[in-house]
């Protein structure tokens, strides 16, 4: 691509002139730049554009003190000399002897520098807002070429650069704060540590504001949406698409950067607070450290053991399978399941016996006839009468006892000698239990 030669020639001429004017370049030190800015503000403030030699020297001296510029670079007279040599300042012939003013170069240099370095003047939110407004204006013209130009020459240059500067400025400020805090943290006084902690808190506030500017309510998201929309409508235009993508990337990156900074800073502040909590007051730390080291040495020589709760562990079930039997698949067989469905457990044996009714009716009728009987003899008679084994006698007796409350006339018990009351309603005769064939003879009766 060849630019118009006429245009080209114009630039070349200007650049050549500049080279001849600054054969040694501009060898300005940090202090010189600061002085230039100082003079610029001073000029703006009082609207007087010429200063006498004495005023100039005292002004530079004050700047040195207040800005804390390094001493050797800032001998006022020498500084003035340098500024003159680089044509930042010129001497004005206006009646006074030796009076000075900023040159056009000096003024524009200061202006440019200060607007670049000015981080707080326009906050991020404003810049994004104005970018959004600019974009709306360009979109209103409905020309892809203009949009492309705006994106490439305005958004990706001016806007991006100023936002970059701003972020970098904050990053650097935070870093230096951290550095200082760490220095104080490892060898410092409580008071100063507090001051710096406070400083970090202020920085965090600033950063939170920044985050706010890329959150809801700012133009950040509308801007992104607008860009995406353009991207969809101009899918065919490769150049524009490229520019749009780059702009989107930049905006995403911006958000990420702010978030990372914030997270980092929050973590750092937290660790500061924690550290202080752990260590306690700083004046005590060294003492405590020494004592603790002595204690460690002490523990080296003698047995020291911290008391803890004796671990009464809850019961823990641990299944340690043999490797071979560990994983045996369980198979369910359909036929087994069917068999299971048909399984009905055997009925529990009842105390009932087939001869119960026969036995009891016999007993009742006999009782009706003669309600006065010796229980043992009578039971035997009944057993014999019903053709039962003698071994069924206990069961028979049990049936009798259960049935007695129903009988008419009522049954009452006359205890013989040696009977005792086991509990209310129960009489027991004392017997001794032997291992061989001695059947315990105990009879119950409800009273």
Partner 1 sequence: MLMDNPCFVLWENEDLSRRIIHRMQRGEHIDAFLPAEFRFLEEEGPAWEEFFRFLGYRLVRTTIGEETFSYLVSQTGHMQPGRLGRGATFLGLFLSWHFLNQGIDGIEKVGAAEIHEHLLSTFDFNLLLTIFNPRGKHSRKKEESERQQRFLRDWMRTSLNELARYRFIEIKPSPRADWGTVQLYRLPALQRFLEVGRDLIQQDRDFSGKVDPEAEPEDGFARRIQRLWGSLEVPEDEDGQAPGHEDDEDAEDA
**Residue 380: count of CB within 10 angstroms of its CB:** 14
Distance from the first to the final alpha carbon of the chain: 129
Residue whose tokens read 């698409």: 241
Residue 28 or 199: the one with the smaller Cβ distance to partner 1 is: 199
What part of residues 182-211 is at the interface with partner 1 (CB under 8 A)?
Answer: 182, 185-186
Q: Which of 308, 301, 362, 316 is nearest to 379 (CA)?
A: 362
Q: How far is the CB of 297 from partner 1 (least distance, A)?
A: 8
Residue whose tokens read 């020498």: 78
Binding status of residue 369 toward partner 1 by CB under 8 A: no
Total residues binding partner 1 (CB under 8 A): 43
What part of residues 284-303 is at the interface with partner 1 (CB under 8 A)?
Answer: 284-285, 287-289, 291-296, 298-303
Residue 104 or 305: the one with the smaller Cβ distance to partner 1 is: 305
Among 77, 260, 273, 390, binds partner 1 (CB under 8 A): 273
Q: How far is the CB of 178 from partner 1 (least distance, A)?
A: 9
Binding status of residue 411 toward partner 1 by CB under 8 A: no
How far are the Cα atoms of 170, 259, 364 from residue 211, in angstroms, in the given order? 13, 7, 101
What part of residues 304-343 is at the interface with partner 1 (CB under 8 A)?
Answer: 304-314
Q: Which of 401, 405, 409, 410 is nearest to 382 (CA)?
A: 401
> Would you mind telling me the total number of residues written for the chain in this entry?
447
Residue 300 or 344: the one with the smaller Cβ distance to partner 1 is: 300
Report the alpha-carbon distance of residue 404 to residue 410 in Å, rounded. 8
Binding status of residue 278 toward partner 1 by CB under 8 A: yes
Binding status of residue 349 toward partner 1 by CB under 8 A: no
Binding status of residue 263 toward partner 1 by CB under 8 A: no
Q: How far is the CB of 191 from partner 1 (least distance, A)?
A: 17
The site string for partner 1 over 79-108 (x = CB under 8 A, - otherwise) reads: ------------------------------
Binding status of residue 283 toward partner 1 by CB under 8 A: no
In angstroms, what is the C-alpha Rg of the chain? Answer: 54
Report the alpha-carbon distance of residue 188 to residue 197 in Å, rounded. 13
Report the alpha-carbon distance of residue 110 to residue 34 in Å, rounded. 9
Binding status of residue 174 toward partner 1 by CB under 8 A: no
Residue 277 or 405: the one with the smaller Cβ distance to partner 1 is: 277
Q: Which of 90, 95, 98, 78 is nearest to 29 (CA)?
A: 78
Q: How far is the CB of 323 from partner 1 (least distance, A)?
A: 21
Strands 419-423 and 426-429, bridge-based pairing: antiparallel
Residue 315 or 332: the one with the smaller Cβ distance to partner 1 is: 315
Report the alpha-carbon distance of residue 349 to residue 230 in Å, rounded. 90
**Which residue ranges make up the site for partner 1 (CB under 8 A)?**
181-182, 185-186, 268, 271-280, 284-285, 287-289, 291-296, 298-314
């Amino acid at each position: 691509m060849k630019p118009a030669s006429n245009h080209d020639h114009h630039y070349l001429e200007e650049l050549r002139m500049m080279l001849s004017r600054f054969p040694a370049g501009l060898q300005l030190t940090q202090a010189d730049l600061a002085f230039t800015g100082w003079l610029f503000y001073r000029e703006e403030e009082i609207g007087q554009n010429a200063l006498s030699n004495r005023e100039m020297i005292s002004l530079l001296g004050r700047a040195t003190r207040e800005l804390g510029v390094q001493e050797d670079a800032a001998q006022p007279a020498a500084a003035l000399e340098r500024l003159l040599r680089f044509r930042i300042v010129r001497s004005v012939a206006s009646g006074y002897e030796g009076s000075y003013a900023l040159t056009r170069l000096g003024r524009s240099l200061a202006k440019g520098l200060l607007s670049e370095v000015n981080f707080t003047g326009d906050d991020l939110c404003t810049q994004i807002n104005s970018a959004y407004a600019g974009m709306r204006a360009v979109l209103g013209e409905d020309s892809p070429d203009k949009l492309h130009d705006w994106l490439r020459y305005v958004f990706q240059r001016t806007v991006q650069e100023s936002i970059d500067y701003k972020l970098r400025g904050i990053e650097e400020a935070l870093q230096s704060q951290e550095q200082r805090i760490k220095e104080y943290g490892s060898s410092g006084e409580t008071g100063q540590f507090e001051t710096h902690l406070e400083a970090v808190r202020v920085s965090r506030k600033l950063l939170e504001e920044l985050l706010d500017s890329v959150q809801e309510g700012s133009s950040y998201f509308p801007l992104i949406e607008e860009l995406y929309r353009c991207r969809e409508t101009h899918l065919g235009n490769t150049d524009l698409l490229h520019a749009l993508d780059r702009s989107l990337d930049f905006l995403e990156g911006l958000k990420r950067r702010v978030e990372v900074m914030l997270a980092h800073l929050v973590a750092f502040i937290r660790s500061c607070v924690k550290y202080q909590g752990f260590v306690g007051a700083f004046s005590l730390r060294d003492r405590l450290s020494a004592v603790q080291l002595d204690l460690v040495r002490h523990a080296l020589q003698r047995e020291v053991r911290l008391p803890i709760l004796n671990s009464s562990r809850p019961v823990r079930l641990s299944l340690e399978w043999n490797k071979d039997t560990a994983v045996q698949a369980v198979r369910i067989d359909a036929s087994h399941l069917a068999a299971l469905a048909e399984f009905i457990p055997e009925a529990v044996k009842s105390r009932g016996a087939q001869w119960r009714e026969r036995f009891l009716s016999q007993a009742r009728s006999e009782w009706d006839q003669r309600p006065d009987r010796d229980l043992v003899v009578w039971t035997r008679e009944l057993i014999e009468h019903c053709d039962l084994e003698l071994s069924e006698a206990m069961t028979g007796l049990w049936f009798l006892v259960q049935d007695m409350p129903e009988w008419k006339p009522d049954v009452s018990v006359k205890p013989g000698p040696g009977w005792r009351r086991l509990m209310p309603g129960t009489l027991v005769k004392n017997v001794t239990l032997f291992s061989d064939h001695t059947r315990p003879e105990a009879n119950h009766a409800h009273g």
